[in-house]
Structure 1
């Protein structure tokens, strides 16, 4: 990075340099506010605790008159001008506003919208000021147990955020000055000496730097809309149906596991802190359905008796604790395994023997092919096709098919690079795979036997046996949104794909890509919006002819296979899944009904799914043109 010294700046003809002498002690904070074109600075020196001053030359009339007298007859300013020597100037009294605060100011925050200035310091009191009236504060907020280190006014949220040197975080109401929330270090988990804070308004998160960086996601208020129903307080990462007990199990980012009754939607049990403070990333069941297996960002797999929330075992890969991205339970020739993949880029197989505990804690030795020719990037997905095929996909777009009996690589597939997105490595990530199991059973078949998601919201069909290759690709999503989940029916007759906009699309694939490459997409049977945010998991419960979905929007929902809305887990009214009269249909979730992106397209375009592609930038442009036209009127 280039270094520019102040001595060089002073000599530059293109830079106006003014050095102000403002405080008599260390400057603790400094901000420039372009909206009012001033510099606000703070110090622990009580007489000049906070100063609001002009940035450029003086605006004071008397001071300007004095400068005019200093100009020589030929119009040149005398050589001994203070600025040219780099000596600090003192602002005229009319060019600055000085606030005197007991024990000085350590931190401040200014909000032009509310004409509000906040100061805090060693005396642990947050003072509220009118920035043009320095004599007396308009209010005081007291309750911090230590000196105030950081302040921020969030005008849109009508909140004030403060933090003290003992790592206590507080949230205040901007209007009535009440303390709404307080978190001590034990609650927030922030340890070490506080060095910096920053509030991210877009994320509604407070970033705190000590000996590590902590991000506190702040949920300002409870959902005020009574129409909204949620299953979890945090985004739902995954959900699965347990046919042994007739339960639905869902996991959230907050490391909370909930167990629901599938037939009625009733909450049966929940347990928190399943992976400590780490997020749960995946879940599966053993072959009996009696044990739940979860993977997390802490690099651990945990085996649960999920009916009572008891953790039976914790499995670890190594000391590095690489994040687990996906897991599956495999039964192969009387042997049972838990397979986990993630950021360590290896296939970790844990031998599941209820009687032999010593072989259970650590993964089996890795396959030689995996170590030498395996993935070079983080593995995102793993799926099995009985009896012996395993497929894994990674962040760089690579898909590998494995022979589980020999541990050898069967074939390797590479996701195509799209021209104008070739420089974006994220665009190639493959996070979802699904085998077409009836086709994969015919090893010599030319038909596509694997489906994956791909770049720009595409769905890709792969042939594995008669030359591993891509034989079909199409984009179902309305806005080319990334495909986030794929499931197929048992007989491989119908495929359901979901995207990051919350849409679910149903395709007839019974005769699709059977004889080789396809140029057209399969027939779209149905599509509907299931969630207002990204769908995180889909599961078909074919015996009952329903579809289970979960989403980042904190909900888990049931649908008929035709897209009829049955209900959201967590709603007050219970349903009977076998009695359609108890379903929510023909109603749809309230937030979907109100979301602008749910607006239907013209009926004439509905026959061709490819015509449903919407250019959101064009929509925005039209809206702007209409609004500007209204202003003109």
Structure 2
């Protein structure tokens, strides 16, 4: 009927619209780049106007579950709007999301919370909404922290997050010195390092570029990029070889890109050097995830398929290959278990002699394992152990200067410290190195670790949006950005023995009951871990103990066996707890309970009780005499 029709007049027309019956809203978008929110019964004037697109709006959708509006323009830019405030919550550019070509179709899928975009290819943009931070929780960044580094020249800590924000902190107090945003546009920062002088900062991003900054004022000095497709940069390092300074970057292009740092070259854009011939012919076949250097000329890289290659930087030749994956005919290895190696660390003191048969390279591996490799006198695997009981993937590795201690961080936020001074020096090791201590530093994945040995402190960052400082033995100093500053030289100003609130309340931080914890940790399987002499002594004494014969010996024997397992688990778990954190609880002295030597089982006769009224005439008498025998 003519009277039931409503006409909405929009300037330059409508290219896309979305109607939500539950919220009784109509949203339109068109060539004027404006999104309008309408009441279906009031066509004269929109109830809200959303401005921000730089191209005609081609798709809009009302997500009533999220209370958001999704829109996409002709330039492949996606924006998320809040229906209550009519403000833009997020803006994703086509360059950051990797969408190229002309937009042909778009669809929001409420189940997986993803936006399906069709151009020349099909792309899925997944919506990840982080939890709202509680007011009492301290955060260093508003977004997950990707990595952090310490600058010994200025005694500053530099951290970067996924929102492409770089912050500079004072290491001695934890106060923020400066920050600059948009380092790689709308693309996130993936890695950072310093030059040899410590006056310039090098960052790598998901846009495939590296940028050199004067990080004190946030001025971009140079942009390093290659002519090929802009593949994501995963890691970078600054190296000085024969007085030649260069930046080495690796990433999704599966090649080692070397950029020479020439002091008198004032060109803003720089191109990489030609690739090494060995890199082109025998290099990685998958995305390169990590690069580390060992002066003066060794370089190690690792890839997604688990392959590790050691290079000679001076000649550009490949020195050796480790953990080379076997080809599987007709099957993509990505469908199998994760074999990626994302962390490497050199034991530099063992590389002084090139004929050393000891382990000189550490890497992470599948199933939360840590591996020690020999590079000389026959390359190969020397040791393999798992530090985490839950087999959490090791996310960061750092070694002290003298190769005495190794710090391992995992995806659950734990930091494990091992003594490796004598480990792997004499060939294959069947057990794990000696555990020094362990503690929970973050509630999410630890993205980077760095030792500040001049102050005997440890720097850590995590996806939980925090950057924290710890002592070498795990004492909590503070979170960068907290309200109350600390003095790194005054332990009384540290947060220890207090721990961060979210770590204290997280389920992974809860201790396990000593008597109920009977599972053998994954790191102790296969005889890799060193047995505790206290445990062996208690178990031996337990096995030698014999209970006196009794008519119900079977019942007594079963309870004795149950007590053995409980006490063994209690001894082991108590040792782990004392090594993990502070304060440490002292385990009670374990002795064979003498009650088991006098325990007897008697059957109760089914005799009905006499229903007689008790005699209460006697005063001062105890009707229920019970005696307790104390045992020293």
Q: Do both share a fold (TM > 0.5)? A: yes
* 1:291 is aligned to 2:200: yes
- Aligned twin of 2:284: 375
Question: Displacement of 1:403 after TM fit?
Answer: 1.6
Equivalence map 1:439-478=2 (5 Å): 439-478=350-389
* Residues in 2 aligned to 1:560 and 1:280: alpha-carbon distance in whole angstroms: 28
- Aligned twin of 2:85: 179
- Aligned twin of 1:320: 229
- Aligned twin of 1:550: 461
Tell me if the contact between 1:300 and 1:314 (Cα under 8 Å) persists in the aligned partners.
yes
- Aligned twin of 2:481: 570
* Residues in 2 aligned to 1:184 and 1:470: alpha-carbon distance in whole angstroms: 47
* 1:491 is aligned to 2:399: no
- Aligned twin of 2:142: 233
State the secondary structure of the residue aligned to 1:584: coil
* 1:196 is aligned to 2:106: yes
* Residues in 1 aligned to 2:269 and 2:372: alpha-carbon distance in whole angstroms: 36
Root-mean-square deviation (Å): 3.8
* Residues in 1 aligned to 2:138 and 2:281: alpha-carbon distance in whole angstroms: 49
Tell me if the contact between 1:430 and 1:454 (Cα under 8 Å) persists in the aligned partners.
yes
Kindly tell me: are residues 184 and 256 of structure 1, through their superposed partners in 2, closer, same or farther at Cα, counting changes over 3 Å? closer
* 1:305 is aligned to 2:305: no
Unaligned runs of 5+ in 2: 10-15, 30-34, 526-632
State the secondary structure of the residue aligned to 1:179: coil
Unaligned runs of 5+ in 1: 1-44, 48-98, 129-134, 614-633
- Aligned twin of 2:302: 393
Tell me if the contact between 1:536 and 1:550 (Cα under 8 Å) persists in the aligned partners.
yes
Aligned match for 1:332, one of 217, 241, 250: 241
Equivalence map 1:259-274=2 (5 Å): 259-274=168-183
* Residues in 2 aligned to 1:144 and 1:479: alpha-carbon distance in whole angstroms: 48
Kindly tell me: are residues 580 and 169 of structure 1, through their superposed partners in 2, closer, same or farther at Cα, counting changes over 3 Å? same
* Residues in 1 aligned to 2:124 and 2:186: alpha-carbon distance in whole angstroms: 12
* Residues in 1 aligned to 2:272 and 2:73: alpha-carbon distance in whole angstroms: 44
Equivalence map 1:24-173=2 (5 Å): 106-109=17-20, 120=27, 124-127=36-39, 142-143=48-49, 150-155=60-65, 159-161=67-69, 163=71, 171-172=81-82
Kindly tell me: are residues 515 and 226 of structure 1, through their superposed partners in 2, closer, same or farther at Cα, counting changes over 3 Å? same
Aligned match for 1:530, one of 427, 438, 441: 441
Equivalence map 1:268-283=2 (5 Å): 268-283=177-192
Please give the TM-score of this superposition, normalised by the length of structure 2: 0.70
* 1:520 is aligned to 2:431: yes
Question: Displacement of 1:587 after TM fit?
Answer: 1.2
Question: Displacement of 1:249 after TM fit?
Answer: 0.4
* 1:252 is aligned to 2:161: yes
State the secondary structure of the residue aligned to 2:350: helix
Kindly tell me: are residues 152 and 199 of structure 1, through their superposed partners in 2, closer, same or farther at Cα, counting changes over 3 Å? farther
Cα deviations by residue, 1:521-555 (Å, 9 ceiling, x for unpaired): 11221111111111110001111111101111111
**Residue range with higher mean Cα deviation, 333-342 or 596-605:** 596-605
Kindly tell me: are residues 151 and 141 of structure 1, through their superposed partners in 2, closer, same or farther at Cα, counting changes over 3 Å? farther
* Residues in 1 aligned to 2:378 and 2:109: alpha-carbon distance in whole angstroms: 54
Kindly tell me: are residues 124 and 344 of structure 1, through their superposed partners in 2, closer, same or farther at Cα, counting changes over 3 Å? closer
Question: Displacement of 1:244 after TM fit?
Answer: 0.5
* Residues in 2 aligned to 1:152 and 1:359: alpha-carbon distance in whole angstroms: 44
* Residues in 2 aligned to 1:484 and 1:501: alpha-carbon distance in whole angstroms: 9
* Residues in 1 aligned to 2:72 and 2:245: alpha-carbon distance in whole angstroms: 53
Aligned match for 2:256, one of 347, 360, 368: 347
Tell me how many residue pairs correspond in the alignment.
497
* Residues in 1 aligned to 2:47 and 2:264: alpha-carbon distance in whole angstroms: 62
